[in-house]
Amino acid sequence: MMVVVPAPTGDIADRDWVASRLAAGDTVAAIGLQAGVTRQTAGTWIKRHGLSANKRTHQRPSPAVLAADYERFGSIRSMATEYEISPAQMRVWLAEAQVKMSAPGTSGGRPRVVVDVAQATKLRADGLTWKQIATHLGVGYETVRRAVNNAASPEGSASTSRSH
């Protein structure tokens, strides 16, 4: 992925330019972006110039709107980006609105693949290789091998056999 950074349009060391951006209502992050520096560097220069950053107050949506947006976005991070607040603040808003959130680390990831173990076992008994079975079932060969071995073992744990 290529990130395109716009060319700087202002000089962060120029107090008048920074003051004009603050007067226009720009945030520290926006000023940093326009000057080609990080938000932290822009904040440092604002303090050096004896200026005060604009504090953007965020209007908290109703619990119903937060719940609907969480359902639509599916993640705290994407909601926080949309509302221009930190993920930590969004988590607080959702918790206080009593929005049912998924446990950390349980959302996202790769989708589960269901393997027809009976069919895979029959194909294996017919002499097909794991790769041939996997191609027939439309899954990876390691996935089908693991599913058959897990179903066959009494403990349900994966076998270490790697025969093809």
pLDDT over 70 (residue 6): no
Mean pLDDT of the chain: 84
- pLDDT tens-digit readout, 51-69: 888 766 678 899 999 999 9
Domain 112-164: which CATH number of 3.40.50, 3.30.310, 2.40.160, 1.10.10: 1.10.10
Phi, psi torsion values for 84, nearest 5 degrees:
60, 45
Measured distance CA(164)–CA(132) in Å, rounded: 9
Closest alpha carbon to 58 in 22, 86, 37: 86
pTM comes to 0.37
Which sequence spans correspond to the domains of the chain?
A: 1-56, 57-105, 112-164
pLDDT of residue 4: 63
